[in-house]
Structure 1
Amino acid sequence: MDWVRGEKLGNGSFGMVNIAIPRSRNCQIPPVMAVKSCGVSLSDSLMNEKLILDELKDCPEIIRCFGENFTDENGEKLYNILLEYASGGALADKVKNCPDNGLPESEVRRYTKALLKGLNYIHKFGYVHCDIKLQNILLGPNGGVKIADFGLAKRAEREKVGDFGCELRGTPLYMSPEMATRNEQGPPADIWALGCVVAEMVGGASPWRCSGVADLLMRIGVRGEVPEVPENLSSKGKDFLGKCFANDPSKRWTAEMLLNHPFVDDQDFDDTVTLKERHDEDNASTSPRCPFDFPDWTITSLPSPEYSSESGSWFCKEVILMTGSMSTPPVERLQGLASNHQPHWLSSDEWLSVR
């Protein structure tokens, strides 16, 4: 496919994201795409994302990949994947811009059903997304849900990291108990994260109220606490979250089971938006985000680029924590994941430059 690199949308340690315009019109290729690019020597995770998206290409709730190629630009050989451009932005921005501190439950139910369709498809193909959160849920031009960012996705049967260390994938605010304590990350972990997404859509903020990552992981992994369920959620919604927040992953409902739950089973998501939703979208702020608006405490083993509709760009925030042995007691292991060092956010010495 012949295309032209357009305006830069963002960049991170994984590489960069730009607008891509095809040189010739094709009914199978949209007139505007997003292209993720990185140096060939750093392209393993991007190639893996492309392979996964190719397998999941027939699901309308998953961002589409239109192809790959290599280019030589400014003396560097780049690997590129061409993706569907979700002009509606991230669901995180829609929730943030909602004046009522949360979306109406009718909207939450429709979005939830669409997400369950996508997750069910992912799990049926034997994959785990590993980073379900509002920032990785994009909206098409007509409001249709698009699950994005498969940079951390893996096969469900993949073996755990050995006794010399443990690998945490994803974002702690959405992390399941089995991941925090035993490094188990299968389809049930995606369902736990989905529950956090639903609670956040309803409440307008993270369902966790904690002082830091250490406190959070101790509450999840040791004390067996679950995220706070919004009081204004209906009884059906509270029961739905109860099925998502079962501490034992074997008792957590699957995406297929949840599709039949009364909270969503009578909901239709037809890729259209109401007049109110369109009004809210048209009046959303276009000002660039402040760094403090982004969710804290992202722990990943691979870069995880995210899209912001307010700034019209992608961003990537990455931290890698490797510690301990899988035989270490959970309390000691979780304590080792967090540092007592409190960063001074106003000092430039505390920030990492990403180019």
Structure 2
Amino acid sequence: MARILVIEDEAGIRMTLSMMLKAEGFEIAAADNGRAGIDAARAATPDLILCDINMPEMNGFEVLEQLRKDPALAATPFVFLTARVDRGDMRRGMNLGADDYLTKPFTRDELLETVTARLKKDEISREALTNQLIASNTALQQRFRSNLSGEERPSVIEDDELASVEGTASEATVLFADIRNFTTISERLSAPEIAELLNAYLERACQPIIACGGSVVKFIGDGIMAVFPHTEMRPREKQALQAVHAGLGLSFVADHFRAWVSERHPNRDLPEFAIGVGIHTGEVTLCRVGGQGQQDFTAIGDTVNIAARLEEQTKELGWPVVASEATIAAAGSSIAHGASCSLILRGRSHAITVYEVTGLTTLTITADRSTGGLSASMLEALTANANGAANAAKGALRDMLKAVSDKTDTGESKPTRIGNYHIIEKLGEGATSTVYLAERGSDHEQIALKILNSRPGDDPDVIQRFVQEAAMISRIGHTNIVRIFDHGFAEDCAYIAMEYFPRGSLTQVVGGALPKRQALSLLAQAASALGEIHRNGIVHRDVKPSNFMVREDGVIALADFGVAKDLTTDVTRTQAGLSFGSPYYMSPEQAMGTETDARSDLYSLGVIFYEMLTGRRPYEADSLHELMQKHVEAPPPKLPPEVADCQEIVDGLMAKAPASRYSGADAVLDAIDTVWTRAALAAARQSPQA
């Protein structure tokens, strides 16, 4: 319920007001004089103030004047309580920023009607101001989609704003600031984490703008726009200088905020926190928004867009704060600047000269880090923007992934950029993830980018297994295991960047029976891969030809650890009765849903070895139940006579009882050596004598 502060020196009236309002559920604070009232308002910001005019210590007009000077209380609804109706007093009160008068004596209904009306009007004004201060969800998603795809960013001011605005042409200095690499940050943090980061940073970022006399007119996701209007009291030279001072203060804030990010999100591989600031001076259309007594503006025009375009150039130029020649000229000799250059900004035909701002010659750059100076409306807008931007960033990423998935149907060929990767086409899709061919931006190397299809509300175990997959593979370095280059996780988007295999998988190799020598060579490579993961406490649980990828030189590498079990943790613990694996290559214990260990992978490897030698799978069936029953009960089939010397390996891999199989991958490699040795000796005996 709303909090109401009653400032009234007469105890009887003060008590009556408090009792009436408490009876309606309002939270009440009371003060018996003006000075105590100001202290109470600053101690706990009220939603409405009821204040007598004639009081000791400080009268009502003086109270209102002091409150309107305090940014945190300047917009708080204020109603005077008075026993006399004097037009001069009313004009004085309204000029100071009073919202209404309530004449004594008043009835309960008159009191409640006045209180309710003022609170409702304030709620509407604050909602309107919040909407004015933040960009729409559609605009935010367009902005973040342009960041992902590299396409042109939409205009800072939306078309519907341009259509409805009525304002005054004036001159002002406009500042636009943006977080660099925000797309990468949003990919690697969850939506609540993004919202927290934006809220914390933008609260700090508002401080130097307000301290320098600027007005924050728009939050645009990770961006902030401020205007410094040129007036008779605030001339062009002063406002241009103040805008540059604020820009340098923002850079100061960002430098200090870097430590906050590092402490809050260690080991998340986030890019170094940095911002870019663009400043330009010129003609704008200024429109005041908000209620009586507030000084909040919105601004539109070419000057706004130039400031935004200058900010976009800061990363390429390597300058944190960039100001146009118009701003430097207006600010005068107080600006210290470094390099300068001419730029043709997007959407413009003529070059503009810009300068790197390095400091001020007459002032010290500081930044008030407190949040006490922000109004309630500003804080509400901060929170709304942070939450909206976090959800919009995630929504834009989902839209981009869907667009890439649909490329095959639409015939589009233009790559889409996600983080450091330009997606080229979809390679394949499984039950829980989609794999894309992508190009790494840093070196143009082609990689395979695996994206989890999960969304909020999906089975958390699916997300957990995907994240665990990247962690498991990353800790292993082996010739016969797929290489992981990068991986990241956000609330509803996880990805793994891994080695790309243009030759496909073992499935394409096993188109029929392979020569025994080739089959044994591939078996040895596969066994080496399994031996390495087993030594690292991992059971793959989905060993099949399509999960052995083929490099250009013919070497195979084990991939897709999506259902693997990490025995070193309990994260991937399997529920009793739950089966993983592909039916044709499933071990008996997987078919029965019982506990599995490394020997389950060896059984599946035996199935693959039989298929490589014969060109067919060992078990075929008309139903899944019958197929699984054969895995459990049917003996390993016999090999053709020409490869019968490999029967011992097949039997050792495909024994029904795990205890009857090879004890591990090393034992398989020993068995392969034995077959090689026998074959070599037999060949030697059959060779003609010299």
- Fold-level match, TM-score > 0.5? yes
Query: 1:178 and 2:586 equivalent?
Result: no
2:499 aligned partner: 84
Query: 1:247-306 CA distances to partner (integer Å, 9 max, x unpaired)?
Result: 221121021111111457759xxxxxxxxxxxxxxxxxxxxxxxxxxxxxxxxxxxxxxx
Which of 480, 494, 506 is residue 61 of structure 1 equivalent to?
480
Alignment partners' CA distance in 1, 2:488 and 2:602: 34
Query: 1:206 and 2:620 equivalent?
Result: no
Query: 1:249 and 2:658 equivalent?
Result: yes
Closer, same or farther: CA 91–167 of 1 in aligned 2, 3 Å: same
2:214 aligned partner: none
Which of 445, 459, 483 is residue 31 of structure 1 equivalent to?
445
Does the aligned pair in 2 maintain the 1:86–1:140 contact within 8 Å? yes
2:471 aligned partner: 51
Equivalent position amino acid for 1:31 in 2: E
Alignment partners' CA distance in 2, 1:237 and 1:10: 35
Does the aligned pair in 1 maintain the 2:584–2:617 contact within 8 Å? yes
Query: 1:154 and 2:558 equivalent?
Result: no
Equivalent position amino acid for 1:245 in 2: M
Does the aligned pair in 2 maintain the 1:188–1:249 contact within 8 Å? yes
Query: 1:303-349 CA distances to partner (integer Å, 9 max, x unpaired)?
Result: xxxxxxxxxxxxxxxxxxxxxxxxxxxxxxxxxxxxxxxxxxxxxxx
Alignment partners' CA distance in 2, 1:19 and 1:67: 15
1:8 aligned partner: 426
Alignment partners' CA distance in 2, 1:240 and 1:128: 21
Does the aligned pair in 2 maintain the 1:156–1:185 contact within 8 Å? no
Alignment partners' CA distance in 2, 1:156 and 1:265: 32
Alignment partners' CA distance in 2, 1:118 and 1:152: 16
Alignment partners' CA distance in 2, 1:32 and 1:167: 37
Alignment partners' CA distance in 1, 2:492 and 2:566: 29
Alignment partners' CA distance in 2, 1:7 and 1:80: 16
Equivalent position amino acid for 1:35 in 2: L
Alignment partners' CA distance in 1, 2:429 and 2:594: 29
1:136 aligned partner: 547
Q: CA RMSD in A?
A: 2.4
Secondary structure of the structure 1 residue equivalent to 2:635 = coil
Closer, same or farther: CA 40–84 of 1 in aligned 2, 3 Å: farther
Select between 257-266 and 239-248 the one with higher mean Cα deviation.
257-266
Alignment partners' CA distance in 1, 2:423 and 2:489: 13
Using the TM superposition, give the Cα deviation of residue 236 of structure 1 relative to its aligned residue in structure 2, in angstroms: 3.0
Closer, same or farther: CA 53–160 of 1 in aligned 2, 3 Å: closer
Query: 1:59-95 CA distances to partner (integer Å, 9 max, x unpaired)?
Result: 1101111012368xxxx96322101001221111111
Which of 234, 242, 259 is residue 643 of structure 2 equivalent to?
234
Matches within 5 A, 1:1-355: 2-25=420-443, 31-38=445-452, 39=454, 41=456, 43-56=463-476, 58-69=477-488, 78-96=493-511, 101-156=512-567, 160-162=574-576, 166-181=577-592, 183-221=594-632, 224-253=633-662, 254-262=664-672, 266=676
Query: 1:115-144 CA distances to partner (integer Å, 9 max, x unpaired)?
Result: 010000011111100010111111011111
Larger proportion of helix? 2
Using the TM superposition, give the Cα deviation of residue 55 of structure 1 relative to its aligned residue in structure 2, in angstroms: 1.7
Alignment partners' CA distance in 2, 1:208 and 1:68: 38
Does the aligned pair in 2 maintain the 1:16–1:37 contact within 8 Å? yes
Alignment partners' CA distance in 2, 1:4 and 1:264: 48
Query: 1:138-178 CA distances to partner (integer Å, 9 max, x unpaired)?
Result: 1011111111110010024765524xxx1011012212222
Closer, same or farther: CA 147–121 of 1 in aligned 2, 3 Å: same
Secondary structure of the structure 1 residue equivalent to 2:557 = strand
Alignment partners' CA distance in 2, 1:264 and 1:198: 16
Using the TM superposition, give the Cα deviation of residue 46 of structure 1 relative to its aligned residue in structure 2, in angstroms: 1.9
Structure 2 gaps of 5+ residues are 1-418, 678-690
Alignment partners' CA distance in 1, 2:446 and 2:437: 7
Using the TM superposition, give the Cα deviation of residue 246 of structure 1 relative to its aligned residue in structure 2, in angstroms: 1.8
Does the aligned pair in 1 maintain the 2:590–2:596 contact within 8 Å? yes
Secondary structure of the structure 1 residue equivalent to 2:554 = coil
Seq. identity, %: 25
Equivalent position amino acid for 2:652 in 1: K
Alignment partners' CA distance in 2, 1:78 and 1:124: 31
Secondary structure of the structure 1 residue equivalent to 2:481 = coil
Closer, same or farther: CA 218–266 of 1 in aligned 2, 3 Å: closer
Using the TM superposition, give the Cα deviation of residue 48 of structure 1 relative to its aligned residue in structure 2, in angstroms: 1.3
Equivalent position amino acid for 1:65 in 2: I
Alignment partners' CA distance in 1, 2:516 and 2:675: 14
Secondary structure of the structure 2 residue equivalent to 1:261 = helix
Using the TM superposition, give the Cα deviation of residue 218 of structure 1 relative to its aligned residue in structure 2, in angstroms: 2.1
Q: Which has the larger radius of gyration?
A: 2
Alignment partners' CA distance in 1, 2:489 and 2:655: 45
Closer, same or farther: CA 233–256 of 1 in aligned 2, 3 Å: farther
Alignment partners' CA distance in 1, 2:584 and 2:635: 11
1:348 aligned partner: none
Using the TM superposition, give the Cα deviation of residue 226 of structure 1 relative to its aligned residue in structure 2, in angstroms: 2.8
Secondary structure of the structure 1 residue equivalent to 2:510 = helix
Using the TM superposition, give the Cα deviation of residue 109 of structure 1 relative to its aligned residue in structure 2, in angstroms: 0.6
Does the aligned pair in 2 maintain the 1:196–1:227 contact within 8 Å? no
Alignment partners' CA distance in 2, 1:77 and 1:251: 44
2:318 aligned partner: none
Closer, same or farther: CA 116–129 of 1 in aligned 2, 3 Å: same
Using the TM superposition, give the Cα deviation of residue 228 of structure 1 relative to its aligned residue in structure 2, in angstroms: 2.1
Does the aligned pair in 2 maintain the 1:36–1:82 contact within 8 Å? yes
TM-score, normalized by length of structure 2? 0.34
Alignment partners' CA distance in 1, 2:608 and 2:674: 15
Equivalent position amino acid for 2:671 in 1: H
Alignment partners' CA distance in 2, 1:132 and 1:191: 9
TM-score, normalized by length of structure 1? 0.65
Alignment partners' CA distance in 1, 2:593 and 2:495: 35
Using the TM superposition, give the Cα deviation of residue 202 of structure 1 relative to its aligned residue in structure 2, in angstroms: 1.1
Does the aligned pair in 1 maintain the 2:472–2:566 contact within 8 Å? no
Does the aligned pair in 1 maintain the 2:524–2:672 contact within 8 Å? no
